[in-house]
C-alpha cells in the first residue's frame, strides 16, 4: 500500500512538472541592430534559441544609416513604444536615451562578476549617472597604422609614432602623405579631434564648461588637427574612413588613423602584420566608438532580454568571432572581453592584440551628455569650417561657445 502511494505521488509530481514545462510560455524578443542581420548573427540567435527554447528572437529592421536610426528610435521610444526589446545604439546616444527614460538600467541584471568580463574603459562608456545602461559587444577605438612598405628598414621601436609632432615631421616618399585621417563633416571628425587633445586632460562632459575651463587643451587639439589636414593638402576634408583607408592601401600614406575594422580589410588583402604594416597606440588617447546593446525600458521581458545580451556579448561568442570571422579576414569587431586579450594562445595567433590592449587601456569616451546629439552637429559644422578656413582656433572656440549659450 505504501509503495502504491509513493508511486502514485511520484507520478502526480512528474505529471505536474511535465504539464508546467509543456505550458511554459514562449517569450518573443524583438531585436534590432539597424539593418539586415548578418549570417553569423543569425547563427548566434539560433544557438541561443536552442539553449533557451522558451525564448524566440524576432529581428526588426531599421534604417542602417546612423542618423536615420537615431531619429527612428526617438520617434517610437518617445511615444512609450515597447515593441523592440533589445537594440543597438551608437554609444554617443546612450546618455540621451537614459536621461529620457527610454532604456533600462542593467545593474540588477548584470552582477559585478558578469560586468567584469568587459574591458573597464569600454564598460565605463556604457554608464550614465552611475548606472549601467549599455553593454559593449565589440571594442571600437581609434588606432594608428603604419605602412612599412613606404619606410624600408623601419626599426622595431620607432620614435616617430610617439607624438603627433613626430608623425607630422616624417619624411615621406614622393606623392605620399605623412598621415591619412578623417576630416569630412561627419561624426568621425569629432573622434579625430578628441584624439589630438593632450592625454593628461580628462575632458568635462559638459561641452560649454569644457570649452571655458579647458581652453588651452582645445586650442592645442584644434591647431594639431588643422596641421594634420594641411599635410594632406586639404584632401582629408572630404575623406571619411573608406577614403582615407584607400590612401593607405594604395601606398599613398605612411600613417593612417582608423578603426579596428580596417585590420579585417588588411587581412582580406593578404597584408601581413610587421611585414606590410604595423599598428601603434595613438600618441595621445584614442576615442571610444561603436554600438552598445541596450534594453527598452518598456519591455515586459527585461530578464529574458538580459539573458540574451549576456549570451551574444559573452566570452564564448566573442572568442568565436575572433578565431573564425576575424581570422578569415572578415570585417569583424574586436573583442570587448578582457580575457581574450590576455590569452597567450590568442596573443600568438593574433599578435596585434597586445598593441590594441595598450590602446584600449587609455581610451577616452566622447562627452557623455544627454545633449550630445545636438552638440555634435554644432561641433562638426564649426570645426569643419575652421579646418578649411583661415580662422584661428581661438575664434572657433568663441563662436561655438556663443552658439551653445544661445541654445541653452
Q: Is 117 within the bounds of a domain?
A: yes
Residues 89 and 219 in one domain: no
Element containing residue 108 per DSSP (H, E): none
Q: How many domains does the chain have?
A: 2
Q: Is 311 within the bounds of a domain?
A: yes
Q: Is 366 within the bounds of a domain?
A: no
Q: Where are the alpha helices (DSSP H) in 169-274?
A: 187-194, 207-213, 215-231, 241-249, 261-268
Burial, 107: exposed, middle or buried (Cβ in 10 Å; 0-12, 13-18, 19+)?
middle
**Structural domain for 387, as ranges:** 143-287+371-407
Residues 64 and 113 in one domain: yes
Residues 89 and 38 in one domain: yes
Query: Which residue reads 575572433 in cell numbers?
Result: 322
Residues 210 and 296 in one domain: no
User: Which pLDDT value is given to residue 65?
Assistant: 58
How many whole angstroms separate alpha carbon 369 and alpha carbon 96?
Answer: 7
Residues 206 and 237 in one domain: yes
Q: Is 104 within the bounds of a domain?
A: yes
Final residue of a domain: which of 341, 360, 379?
Answer: 360
**HSE toward the beta carbon, residue 352, CA cutoff 13 A:** 24
How many whole angstroms separate alpha carbon 395 and alpha carbon 137?
Answer: 40
How many whole angstroms separate alpha carbon 185 and alpha carbon 205?
Answer: 22
Q: Is 18 within the bounds of a domain?
A: no
Residues 306 and 353 in one domain: yes
Burial, 51: exposed, middle or buried (Cβ in 10 Å; 0-12, 13-18, 19+)?
exposed
* CATH code for the domain of 232: 3.40.190.10
Q: How far is CA 358 from CA 142, 159, 279, 341, 384, in A?
A: 12, 17, 11, 10, 30
> Taking the CB of residue 94, how many other CB atoms lie within 10 A of it?
23
User: Which pLDDT value is given to residue 6?
Assistant: 46
Residues 273 and 403 in one domain: yes
* Cross-strand bridge partners of residue 295: 86
User: Which pLDDT value is given to residue 279?
Assistant: 93
Residues 189 and 216 in one domain: yes
The grid cell for 173 is 616618399
Q: Is 3 within the bounds of a domain?
A: no
Q: Is 214 within the bounds of a domain?
A: yes
Residues 390 and 338 in one domain: no
User: Which pLDDT value is given to residue 22?
Assistant: 42
Residues 180 and 208 in one domain: yes
Cα 292 from chain centroid? 7
Best CA proximity match to 150, nearest among 229, 237, 256, 61: 256
Final residue of a domain: which of 321, 340, 360?
Answer: 360
Residues 253 and 277 in one domain: yes
User: Which pLDDT value is given to residue 333?
Assistant: 82
The grid cell for 69 is 536610426
User: Which pLDDT value is given to residue 15?
Assistant: 43
Q: Is 294 within the bounds of a domain?
A: yes
Tens digit of pLDDT at every position of the chain (408 positions)? 544 444 545 444 444 443 444 456 899 999 988 777 888 889 999 999 999 999 999 998 766 555 677 887 888 788 776 678 999 999 999 999 999 999 999 999 999 999 999 999 999 999 999 999 999 989 999 999 999 888 765 554 554 678 999 999 888 877 889 999 999 999 999 999 999 999 999 999 999 999 999 999 999 999 999 999 999 999 999 999 999 999 999 999 999 999 998 998 898 888 999 889 999 999 999 999 999 999 999 999 999 999 999 999 999 999 999 998 888 877 678 999 999 999 999 999 999 999 999 999 999 999 999 999 999 999 999 999 999 999 999 999 999 999 999 987
User: Which pLDDT value is given to residue 29?
Assistant: 96
Q: Please tell me what DSSP assigns to residue 222.
A: H
Residues 204 and 299 in one domain: no
User: Which pLDDT value is given to residue 152?
Assistant: 60
Amino acid at each position: 500500500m505504501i509503495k502504491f502511494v509513493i508511486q502514485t505521488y511520484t507520478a502526480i509530481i512528474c505529471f505536474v512538472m511535465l504539464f508546467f514545462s509543456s505550458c511554459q510560455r514562449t517569450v518573443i524578443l524583438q531585436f534590432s541592430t539597424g539593418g539586415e542581420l548578418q549570417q553569423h548573427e543569425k547563427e548566434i540567435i539560433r544557438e541561443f534559441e536552442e539553449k533557451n527554447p522558451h525564448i524566440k528572437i524576432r529581428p526588426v529592421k531599421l534604417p542602417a544609416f546612423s542618423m536615420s536610426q537615431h531619429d527612428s528610435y526617438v520617434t517610437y521610444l518617445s511615444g512609450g513604444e515597447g515593441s523592440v526589446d533589445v537594440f543597438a545604439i551608437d554609444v554617443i546616444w546612450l546618455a540621451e536615451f537614459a536621461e529620457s527614460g527610454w532604456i533600462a538600467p542593467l545593474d540588477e541584471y548584470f552582477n559585478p562578476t558578469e560586468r567584469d568580463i568587459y574591458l573597464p574603459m569600454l564598460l565605463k562608456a556604457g554608464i550614465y549617472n552611475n548606472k549601467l545602461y549599455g553593454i559593449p559587444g565589440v571594442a571600437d577605438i581609434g588606432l594608428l597604422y603604419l605602412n612599412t612598405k613606404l619606410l624600408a628598414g623601419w626599426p622595431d621601436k620607432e620614435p616617430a609614432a610617439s607624438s603627433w609632432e613626430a608623425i607630422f615631421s616624417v619624411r615621406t616618399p614622393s606623392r605620399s602623405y605623412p598621415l591619412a585621417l578623417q576630416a569630412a563633416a561627419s561624426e568621425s571628425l569629432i573622434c579625430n579631434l578628441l584624439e589630438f587633445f593632450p592625454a593628461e586632460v580628462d575632458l568635462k562632459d559638459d561641452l560649454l564648461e569644457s570649452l571655458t575651463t579647458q581652453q588651452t587643451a582645445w586650442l592645442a587639439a584644434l591647431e594639431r588637427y588643422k596641421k594634420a589636414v594641411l599635410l594632406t593638402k586639404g584632401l582629408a576634408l572630404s575623406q571619411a574612413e573608406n577614403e582615407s583607408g584607400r590612401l593607405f592601401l594604395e601606398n599613398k600614406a605612411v600613417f593612417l588613423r582608423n578603426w579596428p575594422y580596417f585590420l579585417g580589410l588588411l587581412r582580406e588583402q593578404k597584408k601581413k602584420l610587421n611585414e606590410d604594416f604595423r599598428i601603434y597606440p595613438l600618441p595621445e588617447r584614442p576615442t571610444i566608438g561603436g554600438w552598445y546593446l541596450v534594453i527598452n525600458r518598456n519591455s515586459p521581458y527585461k530578464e529574458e532580454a538580459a539573458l540574451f545580451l549576456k549570451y551574444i556579448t559573452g566570452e564564448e561568442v566573442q572568442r568565436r568571432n575572433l578565431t573564425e570571422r576575424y581570422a578569415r579576414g572578415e570585417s569583424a569587431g574586436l573583442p570587448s572581453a578582457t580575457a581574450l586579450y590576455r590569452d597567450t594562445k590568442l596573443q600568438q595567433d593574433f599578435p596585434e592584440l597586445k598593441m590594441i590592449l595598450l590602446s584600449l587601456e587609455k581610451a577616452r569616451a566622447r562627452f557623455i551628455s544627454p545633449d550630445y546629439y545636438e552638440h555634435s552637429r554644432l561641433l562638426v559644422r564649426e570645426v569643419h569650417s575652421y579646418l578649411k578656413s583661415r580662422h584661428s582656433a581661438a575664434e572657433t572656440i568663441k563662436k561655438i561657445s556663443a552658439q551653445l549659450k544661445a541654445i541653452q
